[in-house]
Copies of this chain bind each other. A is one copy, B any other.
Amino acid sequence: MEYKSYMADRVKNMKGSAIREMFKRMADPEIISLAGGNPASELFPGEELSKIAGKILMTNPTLALQYGTTDGYPKMRDCARQRAEKVNSVGENDAILIMTGANQGIDLTAKAVLNKGDKVIVESPSFIGSLNAFRTYECGLVGVTVEDDGMSMEGLEDALKNNDGVKFIYTIPTFQNPTGVTMSLEKRKKMLELASKYDVLILEDNPYGDLRFSGEDVPTIKSMDTEGRVIYAGSFSKILSPGMRLGYIVAPAELAEKIEMLKQVNDVHTPMLTQLMCVEFMKKYNIDSYIAKNRELYGKKCACMVENMEKYFPKGKVKWVTPEGGIFLWCECPTITDITPIVDRCLEKKVAIVPGSNFATDIFAPSNMFRLNYSSATLENIEEGIRRIGEVLTELL
């Protein structure tokens, strides 16, 4: 049988994440991966969660194993609210929905808002998972350059002025994926002003906001939103565990109601056990001191990476902005146009990095950039990985 004729237009030319393709080539355990976006697993609170899970299932099996409600277990919604309120990101008319990972919240928000042909303004580059989610609703993506202090506001105003049918701006303002860049306070205020002027929503994705290891916190865009224009996506993936798939959406109740209906027909509800485990973990342990340990580790790993980049990368040929938090570091090689041969050569030397094209609105345009991750590898592997990349860069730049 031939299946193409049964496929919806939205998937006919859909390309999976090239990062995942790369992971398949990475089955070789000798490969040092600086390619993924995994948080450090060495700090996972396995023992604590083991006791918690064991106890929940022993004392309250019905709650943990029976159907739950679509908007989330009420105490889990309280936990999400607590995290969001910590950064002043719950508005008066907002509702909170628990999601099976923040990505589901982004996907379903897009589904609630986008008609075919609508447009979304995104940072260029941006997180491939969100861009691909938006693409499945057959919308147009309008990319706006990311500068050292976040999305270009001139670029944003141009994009808003020159495009009809823009429904929302998607932004990861803090420790952006893939650039690691944080948007300045001025730009955040400006973005709110422009969203109001051109009457569009903002979808603020903040999975890394808790992971600052230097510099000063910048308020979330949501915290300064006086009009109810910002939908906020939060995540427990980088502060507790990604494998548990726990995230949340804070959105104006009227929109949240629609997103909840879409979740109901999507996965009905987020698994109960992982929600209950998160609630118990936050009740029994101090999640902020757990996050602090992660922050410290990431600061150390980032410093190690930068130190070795300075040591091994050919002088003056690679540009980067040292991040103040998060898990990514973004490099540009201004003397070339296409990073592909370098990425391939790195893989031959058994170190994996991600070419910039993956994060672009036009994934077919060549890119001279690449993304490094410092959260998941050990300090030894970060040094050795950067040394090998340095060899390749010295050879090919």
Query: Chain A: residues with CB nearer than 8 A to chain B?
Result: 1, 3-4, 6-11, 14, 16-17, 20, 36-39, 41, 44-47, 49-51, 53-58, 61-68, 70, 99-101, 103-104, 107, 111-116, 118, 129-130, 132-133, 136-137, 167-168, 201, 227-229, 241-245, 252, 254-255, 257-258, 260-262, 264-274
Contacts and interface: CB of A to CB of B under 8 A. Distances in A.
A242 B66 contact: yes
A58 B46 contact: yes
Contacts of A103: 265-268
Contacts of A56: 50
Contacts of A133: 265-266
A61 to B, nearest CB: 3
A44 to B, nearest CB: 5
Contact of A271 (B47, B118, B227, B271): B271
A67 B1 contact: no
Nearest to A51: B54
A3 B265 contact: no
Copy tally for this chain in the complex stands at 2
Closest 6 CB pairs of A and B: A46-B61, A54-B54, A50-B57, A243-B272, A65-B241, A133-B265
B7 A264 contact: no
Nearest to A259: B11
A167 B8 CA distance: 10
A268 B267 CA distance: 13
Contact of A274 (B39, B137, B228, B271): B271
Q: Which of A49, A55, A107, A243 has the most CB of B within 10 A?
A: A243
A60 to B, nearest CB: 8
A243 B65 CA distance: 4
A132 B261 contact: yes
Contact of A49 (B57, B111, B262): B57
Contacts of A267: 99-101, 103-104, 107, 245, 267
A70 B20 contact: yes
A258 B129 contact: no
A46 B66 contact: no
Contact of A255 (B6, B36, B136, B260): B6
5 contacts: A49-B65, A129-B265, A132-B265, A133-B265, A271-B271
Contact of A3 (B58, B255, B274): B255
Given A8-B114, A104-B266, A271 B255 contact: no
A245 B268 contact: yes
Contact of A269 (B53, B201, B245): B245
A100 B100 CA distance: 9
B65 A101 contact: no
